Structure formats: C-alpha cells, structure tokens
Structure 1
C-alpha cells in the first residue's frame, strides 16, 4: 500500500512538473504570448543607463578655451577656481547651504593651512552665488594644495557634503 501511494505521488508530481510544456491543446487567452509592443524610446536614442554617472568630487565639465574645471555636488554647483597671483586664488560658484554660510579648509595633505567661511547671496533651498579671494602659501614647496568646501552640520558640527578641489599650480 505504501509503495502504491509513493508511486502515485511521484507520478502526480512528475505530471504536474511537465504539464503545459507539450500541451497539444490550443492555448487559452491567458496563456497566449503578449503582442509585441513598440519600444517607448526611439531606437536612435541611447538608453539612459549607458551614460556614465558623475561623482561629486570629479569635474563635471571642462572648458578647453579657458582651461577652467567646473566642480559640483548636491549643495555646490558651477564652482571654479582660478589662480590670480603667486599665492592667491579666486573661487566662484553657487551654493545651497543653511543660512547661506559655506565653510572651507585648505590643506596640503598633512596640515590645514587656512580655514574660514564665505557668505552666499541666498540661503537654501535656493542657490546663492558666492565669490571669494583666497590667499594661502604652501608650507612645503613640493606639496599640492587642496580646497575643501563644505557645510557645517547644525546637529553635531561635522562637515557635510564636502567638495574637494585641487588648487591649480
């Protein structure tokens, strides 16, 4: 009796696994394959996923005529840095920061050489313009200076949304 029950269960299981694969009957409306639909995007347009993603700390665009690199992230955009003198740099851009205050630090990889803040024209959620002339001298002649723009967290005083920009030589 047990052998018969086991045999019937096995046959039922196998029949359930194979049903619908070689069915001689015509498919019902629910089993018919869907009619091929036209693609929503034209074939001439590449899919959105083929575009490389931008990272916040990488330059978004480079203007070959002026050799200025534009930097951006979620709270900074159109940020450019131009060397105007021996140890002088001009920083321009737009920021969307709390109470229109953006902070900066210049470091050489080991030490913070200068720090401060800049007032933008408008506070978040709007974009405010800012311009600042920065004067900083290298501590070591072979070092590379890096400007870090950020917003200070009102919650704990930490740096939020840092934008790291290498200063031009």
Structure 2
C-alpha cells in the first residue's frame, strides 16, 4: 500500500537548497572577481605586498601612489621603458643642446675705432721752458746750442697780439723784429718765428722778448732766454782771444 506524503513538507527543504546554491554562487563570483582584479592591476602597484593568512597567496595592495602602468618589477619613480609603458605618464622631452655663437679657444676681436680711422697716440702738450705774466716759451730752452738760424715758439698774452724781440751776443744786436700772435689779450695767442743772424762775437747770446708799453713804447714784460753758439760761427772782436 502506497504511502502518502503531505506536499507541504518539501517546500522548506527546496527553499533552503536554493538559498545555499545562491550563497555558493555569490562566493564563487566574488572569488573570481578578486582574482581578476589582482591579475589586471597594471600601473597601480606601489611595490607593497601583503600575505593573507591561510591562503598562501601574495595579495598586492593598491595605495594609489602610482598613476602609471609600470610593468611589474619596475621601481616606482625609476627609469621607464617606453616599450613597456602603456599608462598615462607624460613622456619627458630630452633637452636640446644650446648652440653657441663663438668658436672655442678663439680670442675676442679687438674693437676698432672707426670714428677716427683707428687708434692714435694722444697729443702731448708742449713743455714750457720759460715764462712770465705775458709770455710762455716752448723753444729754445735755456742754454740751448743754436746756429745762425733758430726757431722761437710759444704763447703771448699781449695787447692786440703784438710784441717785439731782440737777439744780442753781449756786444751787438744780431737780430730784432716784431711778431703777431694768433690772438690778443686776455687770451693766450700762439706764435712762432725764426731768428737769423751772423758773425756773433762771443760764445753766448741772449734772446729778449718784450711788449711795448702803450703809454710811451718802452719795453715791458721782458723775458730773457740765454743760448750758446755752435763751434766755428763765433768771430771774436779784434783784440780779444
């Protein structure tokens, strides 16, 4: 005789079996997802490894410190291989050498003064060998040796730029004349003239430069410069020597 069962007894058992199957499926799915995440992590590894007790597997922990996609084994912040880097790192441009305009070991060119056609020696100021308030003499200097012709140069500060000179040998006046400078007082005017003479009667001569007084024509501001004559031009006075 067949045993009859109440149909309501298996329903709780079927629901429990279905719940267990669902739990097992979810656990398996989570396990596979975790494995996929661990295998697909490329570029977020910071080099830290932790061991999960009881599993025997090393689990890489992402701390978010690396934004690239470095290949496993490459230190963070180290040199990157462009062939294996597939992340979002911006490539670093290699600096180009700065070209130089000057050749090495080449001395700089010296500047050229084009305004005056090149460098020139500075102009030397003439040396004053004798002077007073009216005259500055550049030549001849005192006790200079002169021949029968010599030059006199200097500056004069005289009325209307005019003055006079005489040249004596102690016995006779060998030469005399009037000279005009290039400008009158109160400016200093330049002058130059020649003294010509012959037959000095002593070894020494004296050049006297003076200005004539506007009042009576007498010599004023006299300047005397002694000189020596060359050998062979002196003719002693009769009875001397």
Scaled to the shorter chain, the TM-score interval is 0.5 to 0.7
Whether 2:161 is the aligned partner of 1:100: answer yes
Question: Contact (CA 8 Å) 1:84, 1:90: kept in 2 or not?
Answer: no
Instruction: Tell me which of 77, 89, 98 is aligned to 2:136.
Output: 77
Q: How does 1:35-54 map to 2 (within 5 A)?
A: none
Instruction: Tell me which of 141, 145, 161 is aligned to 2:205.
Output: 145
- Give per-residue Cα distances to partners, 1:84-116, cap 9 Å, x unaligned: 973111100000011111100111112222210
Q: Which runs of 5+ in 2 are unaligned?
A: 1-126, 230-241
Q: Which has the higher strand share?
A: 1
- Give per-residue Cα distances to partners, 1:25-50, cap 9 Å, x unaligned: xxxxxxxxxxxxxxxxxxxxxxxxxx
**TM-score between both structures, scaled by the size of structure 2:** 0.39
Aligned residue in 2 for 1:35: none
Question: Contact (CA 8 Å) 1:107, 1:146: kept in 2 or not?
Answer: yes
Whether 2:193 is the aligned partner of 1:132: answer yes
SS at match of 2:140: strand
Of the two structures, which has the highest relative contact order with CA contacts closer than 8 Å and spacing of 6 or more? 1
Aligned residue in 2 for 1:59: none
Question: Contact (CA 8 Å) 1:72, 1:79: kept in 2 or not?
Answer: no
Distance in 2 between residues matched to 1:168 and 1:119, nearest whole Å: 26
Q: How does 1:52-63 map to 2 (within 5 A)?
A: none
Question: Contact (CA 8 Å) 1:107, 1:147: kept in 2 or not?
Answer: yes
RMSD: 2.2
Aligned residue in 1 for 2:220: 160
- Give per-residue Cα distances to partners, 1:40-90, cap 9 Å, x unaligned: xxxxxxxxxxxxxxxxxxxxxxxxxxxx87010010014321779731111
Q: Which runs of 5+ in 1 are unaligned?
A: 1-67
Q: How does 1:1-12 map to 2 (within 5 A)?
A: none
Q: Structure 1 runs of 4+ off > 2 angstroms?
A: 82-86
Q: Alignment length, in residue pairs?
A: 101
Say if 1:146 and 1:69 are closer, same or farther in 2 by CA, change over 3 A. Answer: farther
Whether 2:176 is the aligned partner of 1:115: answer yes
**TM-score between both structures, scaled by the size of structure 1:** 0.54
